[in-house]
């Protein structure tokens, strides 16, 4: 992993209660129910337009890379819109996010150190730019999440500018790779199950249970590492002593044969699908509702508009990360056969 960034405030994903609870409450006031129930539905029009624009750019191409042409740029566009980042700044955000994600996939034995350095610099540049945007929001409030956080005096007080920047970076970085991988994993799974792809084309409402099954069957996050047991705890007759380092195998849990019938079968009609795709407990992914809707719209439009898509390589090349699961590229061919 890249070295910790000097001077950066940690986002609440790295905090415990009660600090975590306070920061999360302050963010959720503007990100979802009960105070902002219409955020996700309010961006559906923008989501559909952004998805359509990306497909327009490649729809006529014989060969497409689902990652580079679609799944990678979409989450940055959506998150910038939700944050209230000016459209003219979005290209810089895309470059920064790409450099940061490349550095997370850094291999010191094979990759040039420049790859790591670019990620480090991108983190600094992103933090500085977000800080400047928050200062601008104090002077000229707007409609985006940055502005609402910068000018809100709720029951828990007001976030500091550093906390707002940390929250925005969390949305951009943690929300980017996960959504990009979920869309890519979803398209790969559909191409491997053509009868389900055809069903989605004919039944767009299938996208809702289909995405839930994707989160169980081929989740973008496989492992939550680097946790510590704060007390002795017994799990399945095994004592985990206080102070033990723990890695939570979310993908394994979502395929537990004691919990799911035929866990290795992709079944969008699966009932009682309480997967661990977004984690659980107090750290349940707060961006989950937006990620779900992004993926539902993205997959529905891709299968509707692409012409007889076929995989060019199966399996595709994957990222090296054991934590984040997704192809580096997903190249498909369309329009023949």
Asked if the model's pLDDT at residue 311 lies above 90, the reply is yes
State the helix-helix crossing angle for 194-202 and 207-217, rounded to 10 degrees.
150
Average pLDDT of span 201-228: 95
Q: What is the DSSP code (8-state) at residue 67?
A: I
Say how many CA atoms lie within 13 Å of 337 toward its Cβ. 8
* pLDDT value for 226: 81
Angle at 40 between CA 130 and CA 52, to 5 degrees: 85
pLDDT tens per residue, range 69-112 = 999 999 999 999 999 999 999 999 999 999 998 888 788 888 89
> Whole-prediction pTM value?
0.93
3-state secondary structure of 246: strand
Task: Note whether residue 275 is domain-resident.
Answer: no
Task: Note whether residue 269 is domain-resident.
Answer: no
Angle at 8 between CA 7 and CA 10, to 5 degrees: 135
* pLDDT value for 13: 87
Task: Note whether residue 270 is domain-resident.
Answer: no
The Cα–Cα gap between 253 and 256 comes to 5
Task: Note whether residue 308 is domain-resident.
Answer: yes
Task: Note whether residue 260 is domain-resident.
Answer: no
* pLDDT value for 107: 82
**What average pLDDT is seen over the chain?**
93
Task: Note whether residue 262 is domain-resident.
Answer: no
Q: Name the residue range of residue 49's domain.
A: 12-220+288-333
* pLDDT value for 337: 57
Asked if the model's pLDDT at residue 275 lies above 60, the reply is yes
Percent of the chain clearing pLDDT 70 (strictly above): 97
Task: Note whether residue 242 is domain-resident.
Answer: no
Exposure string for 279-314, b = 16+ CB within 10 A, e = fewer: eeeebebbbbbbbbbbbbbbbbbbbebbeebebeee
Residue 122 belongs to a domain with what CATH number? Answer: 1.10.630.10
Provide the number of structural domains found in the chain.
1
Average pLDDT of span 245-272: 96
- The answer to whether residues 264 and 257 touch, using CB atoms and an 8 Å cutoff, is no
Task: Note whether residue 238 is domain-resident.
Answer: no
pLDDT tens per residue, range 147-191 = 999 999 889 999 999 999 999 999 998 889 899 999 999 999 999
What is each CA distance from 319 to 69, 106, 121, 181, 205, in whole angstroms? 17, 10, 22, 10, 31
Average pLDDT of span 269-273: 95
């Amino acid at each position: 992993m890249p070295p910790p960034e000097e001077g950066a405030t940690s986002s609440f994903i790295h905090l415990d209660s009660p600090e975590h609870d306070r920061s999360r409450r302050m963010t959720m006031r503007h990100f979802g129910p009960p105070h902002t129930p219409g955020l996700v539905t309010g961006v559906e029009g923008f989501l559909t337009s952004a998805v359509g624009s990306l497909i327009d750019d490649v729809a006529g191409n014989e060969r497409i890379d689902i990652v580079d042409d679609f799944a990678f740029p979409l989450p940055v566009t959506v998150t910038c819109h939700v944050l209230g980042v000016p459209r003219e700044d979005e290209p810089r955000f895309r470059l920064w996010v790409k450099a940061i994600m490349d550095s997370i996939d850094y291999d010191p034995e094979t990759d040039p150190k420049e790859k790591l350095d670019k990620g480090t610099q991108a983190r600094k540049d992103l933090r500085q730019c977000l800080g400047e945007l928050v200062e601008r929001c104090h002077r000229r409030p707007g409609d985006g999440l940055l502005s609402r956080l910068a000018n809100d005096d709720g029951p828990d007080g007001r976030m500091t500018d550093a906390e707002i920047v940390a929250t925005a970076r969390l949305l951009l970085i943690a929300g980017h790779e996960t959504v990009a991988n979920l869309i890519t994993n979803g398209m790969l799974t559909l191409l491997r199950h053509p009868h389900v792809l055809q069903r989605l084309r004919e039944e767009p409402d299938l996208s809702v249970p289909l995405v839930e099954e994707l989160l169980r069957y081929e989740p973008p996050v496989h492992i939550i590492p680097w946790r510590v047991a704060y007390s002795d705890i017994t799990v399945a007759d095994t004592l985990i002593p206080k102070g033990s380092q723990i890695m939570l195998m979310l993908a394994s849990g979502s395929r537990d044969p004691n919990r799911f019938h035929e866990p290795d079968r992709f079944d969008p009609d699966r009932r009682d699908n309480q997967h661990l795709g977004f984690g659980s407990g107090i750290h349940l992914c707060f961006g989950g509702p937006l990620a779900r809707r992004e993926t539902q719209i993205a997959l529905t439009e891709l299968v509707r508009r692409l012409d007889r898509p076929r995989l060019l390589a199966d399996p595709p090349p994957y990222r090296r990360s054991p934590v984040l699961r997704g192809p580096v590229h997903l190249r498909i061919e369309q329009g023949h056969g």
